[in-house]
Amino acid sequence: MVDVNDANFDKEVIEKSKKIPVLVDFWAGWCGPCMMLKPILEKLSKEFDGKMILAKIDVQENQEKAGKYDVMSIPSVKLFKDGKIVDEFVGVQPEETIRKWLKLNLK
């Protein structure tokens, strides 16, 4: 897992997604659902280690990238491949639903 911000987003997400998919969690510390989703994403990032990178970006402190990627509500999770968003979901989802979503998107 890597913490990203407006300054290093392009290097850590866009560039790395050209080699390995990067799952970006747009979150904020005051967001209850974000705190519920966090341990699920961290668990799945270990399960899918080597198949993807989990990146987390605090939208409160990094509003430029949140705006650029149309984050309207959080948690917002976007999967980047080859520098582009290939799929996304908003809100807390059950672990098994996210696992199936990842298996589908990480083929």
pLDDT in tens, 25-72: 999 999 999 999 999 999 999 999 999 999 999 999 999 999 999 999
Distance CA(93)–CA(81), nearest Å, equals: 21
The candidate with the shortest Cα–Cα distance to 92, out of 27, 48, 1, 9, is 27
34 is catalytic: yes
33 is catalytic: no
User: Which residues have CB under 8 Å from 86's CB, separation 6+?
Assistant: 21, 79, 80, 105
Query: Each residue of 44-57: pLDDT tens digit?
Result: 999 999 999 999 99
Whose tokens are 């979503």? That residue is: 101
> Catalytic residue among 4, 23, 31, 98, which?
31
> Catalytic residue among 22, 34, 41, 44, which?
34
pLDDT grade for 107, boundaries at 50, 70 and 90: confident
